[in-house]
Amino acid sequence: MAAKHDYAIGIDLGTSNSCVGVVRNGRVEIIVNEHGDRLTPSFVAFTEDERLIGESAKLQRTMNPANTVYEVKRLIGRKFSDEAVQKKLPHLPYRVVDDSGNPKICVRYRATEKIFTPEEISAMVLAKIKETAETFLGCEVRRAVITVPAYFADSQRQATIDAGTIAGLQVLKIINEPTAAAIAYGEDTNVTEETNILIFDFGGGTFDVAFLTMKKGHYDVKSIEGNSQLGGRDLDSRIVRYLIGEFMKKTGLDVTQDPKALAKITRAAENTKINLSCQMKDHVKIESLCQGKDMDLVFSRNRFELLCADIFDKTMQCVDTAISNSGVTSDKINEVVLVGGSAWIPKLRKMLEEKFPGKEIKRTINPAEAVAYGAAIQAAMLNNDRSVEDIQLTDVTPLSLGVQLTGNVMSTIIKRNTKIPASYRRNYTTICDFQKGIRFSVYEGENNIATQNNLLGVFAAEGIEIAPAGVPSVDVTFSLDENCILNVTAVDQTTGGGGHMAVSLDKGRLKREAIEDMERRNRALTNASTNLKDTIIKKKNLIERKMSLKKISQKGYEKMKRICEEAEFWLEAHTDATKAEYDAKEQQFNETFSELLEDHGY
């Protein structure tokens, strides 16, 4: 695909849906997919014949639940033993296995069991989004800004960058979702005076609150709070649980062990949640749910609010914490901006109105598209698009970072809500006589007990001064880049010895060689598909030219046009063919075309 322009796109890689935007001709456009939709489901499905991504994959959830993968955003960058992963596993219809401490997804594809990392699944969604953008723009897209929840940990941010790399994208920057939404809001409303904004971002799988000060082109984040395991999916789960219970009361049937029935109920729960944002009751009807029995009941908004009351309360607690950490009082907040699909829920709006009396609760920007909109602006700016005004953005780190001391004490080096990029240093010494090195365990979190926080990695400072305990002087420096990814160095002040650790690549994440190999395979596959596509276009142009010059018979023209169309149909039906299959198809197509041209050309 020839590059006519050099666009960079902004991607909101969501738990439930993904969205992509681009700045073109000086304005932001949210890109529609092949179905004409502005949101693409973050689903990947595997069948005996093909791999499906997006809407077609989501449709597989009820008929092929064990091989339909979604919500990988809740697995990416985590360890298999993480509490959040273990809580999620019983609710996933597909199999997640423990591979050397890392969660991997196991599916059946083309009559073979396949295992994928969460990064690979996310890369498939990103590659689909990249392809959608390329079709829309008519040129190749190589660069992107990708958003993540503000409360994503170091390893989750690095894993997201890895997924982008595998998908063939250069990730210009990782940006926090509420920050991207603030950029969208600022550009949409053209704020000229300094304004205190609270971003309330309730997405499909994550929840974030950001407090920031905003003035035209300037975005200064003061504090962030959130929960990367709290979102609209959790509201769906409450409805699902209720519906299962009601069905059991009525029929005596337990559907919890029936994946297809569960998938049907989950889909109904999603629709009910959406419907209750604009009506007081919803009729839930699922024909032949289990053993020929139907589900048929009325579910009220009041029931929904009671079932989810504790979740709504948790979001308000996060709001209180964000304000408290910002150092200002709630009365200083000028506006509250709702972002994310679940932010439409009337109960949440009412709770925010009560918390901020007299303040406007704004939905002037589309909550489902705001994050991609802001990411697109940031992408254009980083891509040196002169049609975009320069943005000055100051973000903060969501979690404190430090090392474990004797007694399992957390020694914090960088405090939460520190402006990034940042670099801080602390001095440490030995506890035993004549130590040859110091072993540092690096954690992120707010607990004074180190092991109650999230372990990022372990490294050793070697070559230190061999001396009695307390004599060596070792400086440990923590450096956070603009993506909020951590690097650690340690230097002995006497010997110059020490160590270095790129923490984000530690703790069992994908190795650089594996990422590069995945990216190579993805690029080879893309090239093979593109080569076949280009060959078909060239042959079509050739027969049109020959026909116009009367150098081919009408019969030959029709035959060659038909095999070109057949090749195009094959491409559409085999979006997940292997490189060998693409190459074989191209060779067969060329041979057939040449034979026809020889028989019918003159």
Strands 401-405 and 27-30: unpaired
Residue 259 has pLDDT above 70, yes or no: yes
Condensed to tens digits (0 to 9), the pLDDT of residues 355-399 reads: 999 888 887 788 899 999 999 999 999 999 888 888 888 899 988
Active-site residue 287, yes or no? no
Q: Which CATH architecture has domain 8-182+369-394?
A: 2-Layer Sandwich (3.30)
Confidence of residue 521 (pLDDT cuts 50, 70, 90): low
Check 71, 119, 131, 177 and give the catalytic one: 177
Tell me the mean pLDDT in the region 200-206.
91
Active-site residue 201, yes or no? yes
Percent of the chain surpassing pLDDT 70 = 93
Q: Which of 61-70, 335-344, 568-577 has the lowest mean pLDDT?
A: 568-577
Condensed to tens digits (0 to 9), the pLDDT of residues 1-44 reads: 434 578 999 999 999 999 999 999 889 999 999 999 999 999 99
Residue 207 has pLDDT above 90, yes or no: yes
Q: Across the chain, what does the average pLDDT equal?
A: 88
Tell me the two tokens of residue 313.
């309360």
Tell me the mean pLDDT in the region 220-238.
91
Condensed to tens digits (0 to 9), the pLDDT of residues 113-156 reads: 999 999 999 999 999 999 999 999 999 999 999 999 998 988 89
In the chain, where does the domain assigned CATH 3.30.420.40 lie? 8-182+369-394, 190-228+319-362
User: What pLDDT sits at residue 497?
Assistant: 54
Check 12, 71, 82, 369 and give the catalytic one: 12
User: What pLDDT sits at residue 601?
Assistant: 62
Confidence of residue 516 (pLDDT cuts 50, 70, 90): low
Residue 341 has pLDDT above 90, yes or no: no
Tell me the mean pLDDT in the region 143-171.
93
Specify the DSSP element, H or E, that contains 248. helix 232-251
Q: What fold characterizes domain 401-505?
A: Substrate Binding Domain Of DNAk; Chain A, domain 1 (2.60.34)
User: What pLDDT sits at residue 459?
Assistant: 82
Q: Which CATH architecture has domain 512-600?
A: Up-down Bundle (1.20)
Cβ atoms 447, 116 nearer than 8 A? no
Active-site residue 83, yes or no? no
User: What pLDDT sits at residue 503?
Assistant: 42
Q: Write out the E strands in 345-396.
A: 360-362, 392-396
Domain 190-228+319-362 annotated CATH 3.30.420.40: yes
User: What pLDDT sits at residue 458?
Assistant: 86
Classify residue 105 by burial, with Cβ atoms within 10 Å: 0-12, 13-18, 19+.
buried
In the chain, where does the domain assigned CATH 3.90.640.10 lie? 232-309
Confidence of residue 520 (pLDDT cuts 50, 70, 90): low
Percent of the chain surpassing pLDDT 90 = 56
Condensed to tens digits (0 to 9), the pLDDT of residues 263-298 reads: 999 999 999 999 999 999 999 999 999 999 999 999
In the chain, where does the domain assigned CATH 2.60.34.10 lie? 401-505
Tell me the two tokens of residue 178.
């509420």
In the chain, where does the domain assigned CATH 1.20.1270.10 lie? 512-600
Q: Write out the E strands in 266-385.
A: 281-290, 293-300, 335-339, 360-362
520-558: b (≥16 Cβ within 10 Å) or e: eebeebbebbeebbebbeebbebbeebbeeeebeeebbe
Residue 507 has pLDDT above 50, yes or no: no
Question: CA distances (Å), 17 to each of 38, 47, 179, 316, 572, in order?
Answer: 10, 21, 19, 24, 23
Cβ atoms 54, 40 nearer than 8 A? yes
Cβ atoms 156, 174 nearer than 8 A? no
Q: Which of 26-35, 188-197, 327-336 has the highest mean pLDDT?
A: 26-35
Q: Residues, the chain, total?
A: 602
**What is the chain's Cα-based Rg?**
27
User: What pLDDT sits at residue 508?
Assistant: 40
User: What pLDDT sits at residue 128?
Assistant: 94
Active-site residue 310, yes or no? no
Question: CA distances (Å), 393 to each of 26, 179, 219, in order?
Answer: 20, 9, 5
Check 73, 104, 128, 539 and give the catalytic one: 73
Check 119, 201, 234, 586 and give the catalytic one: 201
Tell me the mean pLDDT in the region 418-423.
93
Tell me the two tokens of residue 560.
């060659």
> Structure pTM?
0.81
User: What pLDDT sits at residue 504?
Assistant: 39
Which residues, other chains included, contact 593 with Cβ-Cβ below 8 Å and sequence gap of 6+? 539, 560, 563, 564
User: What pLDDT sits at residue 501?
Assistant: 43
Confidence of residue 348 (pLDDT cuts 50, 70, 90): very high
Confidence of residue 506 (pLDDT cuts 50, 70, 90): very low
Class of domain 232-309 as given by CATH: alpha beta
Confidence of residue 336 (pLDDT cuts 50, 70, 90): very high
